[in-house]
Amino acid sequence: MIPARSPAQLMPRLYEALWETGAVIDMKALADARLGDTPERIDAAFAREATRDPEAIRAFVGRWFTFPAPPDQLAPCDPMTLADRIEYLWDLLVRPPGFQDGVSQVALQHAYIVPGGAFRECYYWDSYFTLLGLGDERAALREECVAALAEQIDTFGFVPNGTRTYYLSRSQPPTFYASVGALLPDAPERAWARYLPQLIAEHGYWMRGSESLQPGEAADCVVRLPDGALLNRYWSHSATPRDEARAGRDVAIAKAAAPRAPEELYREIRAGCATGWDFSSRWFGDRATMATLRATSIVPIDLNALLFGLERAIAQGSAAAGDEARATDFVRRAEDRRQAIDRWLWNETLGLYDDYDYEAGELRGAVSAAALVPLFAGTATRDRAKATVETMKRGLLVKGGLLATDRHTGEQWDSPNGWAPSHWFAVAGLRRYGFTAEAKDLARRWLETVALVYAETGRLMEKYDVVRQAPGSGGGYPLEDGFGWTNGVTAALFRDYPVLMKFGETVPVPLPA
């Protein structure tokens, strides 16, 4: 059940004008703002003005909304090494239990870590990569971060994209099981047993509607393929422009996609955000432009590998809890998914795991870092893991790390960008399958990139250009720093590879203003 409404749902007349005119550029800040009255009264006041003049709309917003303060607190006063900077940032990025700022924020009973910059709330898959960097002295905070995710499952039946009411129509890559397992890395089944109700509930969210599906049909997040196998896709329960999209971007995309129905594009955009890869050529029909977005038609390899991991976690947690019947059931479910992945999501021509367009009936031909997630989750066969690694080395490995994809579209989850989540999935997956030299080499490339950018800017970034070893680009919003998952993955790799700690000694030159 989703009990809360977003600002656009509470103030529909105002938001319709904002979407039409693009009067306010930073719509996320508006959606995060504090209100001068109830949403209903503000919307009624706007209806009385009945204006479409951008200047008048901005003046109205200025009277009724107090925007969040700009995130300038992250600049250090003194030079710090990269490793020390990460430790310094944890206390700035943590939010206490009960924290709420703005009408759209969902208050939680547990502490959590925000990514930083404009991202002022708890994000689902960010949380996993972030908590990886918390040392033993912050074990209590690590527990709180996991409990915050579990609380969201208890409240909503799934983990939303983020803890804002405008994120409640969608989830993100299902890394909750991995977050739980990270609490007890030497005995993850004990942690999974402890959070078994939430793991089962999340699995139910992803599989809802599967029982009644016929071959070739889809419902919500689940797809039944022609041979009867069940795999998953991303979905959104809303088909309207996003509250947080910058300056009417969603409306412009929908217009460019005519004659497709605008509502179809709005759902595709939201589903594209649910992927965590927002946006990428992986989701475009023509592999190049947003107007051809078809995320709901695609069965992604990374999503299904993570759901395999979730099913294995439920099986092992159930066994640890003494529920052999459930353990047996989920062993079967995981094996069914593994076989379906092998049949439907392997691209023999490219030699790697791939996404599948179930409506078009074809593999996407996407050379992407997502192909390594089956190694992370343990669903890859040995031969296919080896082939995927070789393809990755030929097509995605560059001086500064791992490209998101081999395509250049200007979108942030395409070349030349690389991301902390992709590097963690890859390094952990490579180690799992015995590719220890490749894992260490990739960790070195990533840490060198992070260190070089830190030396030049004094900041840890959301994303990086791994070709030039520079700050990343794209995304339709200013490059953010902070940054939760970069900090977490970087700290975790320093821990796992002490010989690479030399990068952690990097100091900004010159000191940023």
* Residues assigned a catalytic role: 278, 462
- Residue 131 and residue 161: Cα distance in Å, rounded? 17
Pull the structure tokens for residue 322. Answer: 């003494």
Q: Give yes or no for a contact between 344 and 231, defined as CB atoms under 8 angstroms apart.
A: yes
Q: Reduced to 3 states, what is the DSSP secondary structure of residue 148?
A: helix
- Residue 397 and residue 395: Cα distance in Å, rounded? 6
Pull the structure tokens for residue 189. Answer: 């089944």
Q: What is the 3-state secondary structure (H, E, C) of 461-488?
A: ECCEECCCCEECCCCCCCCCECCHHHHH
Q: Is the peptide bond between 279 and the residue preceding it cis, with omega within 30 degrees of 0?
A: yes
Q: Give yes or no for a contact between 424 and 447, defined as CB atoms under 8 angstroms apart.
A: no
Contacts of 67 (CB under 8 A, 6+ apart): 26, 29, 30, 32, 33
Q: Give yes or no for a contact between 404 and 414, defined as CB atoms under 8 angstroms apart.
A: yes
DSSP annotation of 119 reads: B
CB atoms within 10 A of CB 325: 8
Q: Reduced to 3 states, what is the DSSP secondary structure of residue 78?
A: coil
Selection from 302, 289, 293 nearest residue 268 by Cα: 293
